Amino acid sequence: MDHQPWKTLRRQELLDRSPWLRVLADDLELPDGRRVDGYLRLESRDHVVVVPLTTDRRLVLLRSYKRGPDAVDLQPPAGIIELGESAPAAAERELREETGYAASAWTPLGRAVLGGNLGGGWAHLFLAEGCRRVAEPASGDLEAQEVLLLTLEDARHRWRAGEMLQLGSLAALGLAFDCLRLGS
């Protein structure tokens, strides 16, 4: 089967809240000639999600209120990639800003987009090992964040129990558990 990209015939910007979010409506032509008008697409900045593992093999996670799910969430450090910044550099910066930790070894776990049909920014996922505290957290984020150190077993139990509400967090932790060879 031939999977050709769709052709954008016209693009209308419905909402621009750059640099955070743009909502677009595209008029498209599919490879078989069919037309689709007003197909919604989201554009947002790429971001990183870091799964930090300390030298004594505990995960560094954050607990804070998140506006998206309107709930308190448990998540690894994450944040937007600044313009001109590489994903690995953003991962190192976000880890230090949000937790005060630095890592001695980094493993890229891959990248994923929020939604296959709507789009959204790419999430670049990393495992950071050999983490040690080097500073006080200074994220500058709107929400108050609590830094937690959890055993791998406890974090994995909470992950499976649904205590993590963000898709990027779930994916990053699952890939990290796989990389660390934590079975089911």
Q: Which residue has the higher pLDDT, 84 or 66?
A: 84
Query: pLDDT, tens digit, for every residue of 126-183?
Result: 999 999 999 998 877 666 889 999 999 999 999 999 999 999 999 999 999 999 987 5
How far apart are the C-alpha atoms of 44 and 120, rounded to whole Å? 5
User: What Rg value do the Cα atoms of the chain yield, rounded?
Assistant: 19
Mean pLDDT of the chain: 92
Query: pLDDT, tens digit, for every residue of 92-104?
Result: 999 999 999 999 9
Total length of the chain: 184
Bridge partners (DSSP) listed for residue 23: 15, 42
Instruction: Name the token pair of 106.
Output: 């980094």
How far apart are the C-alpha atoms of 20 and 94, rounded to whole Å? 17
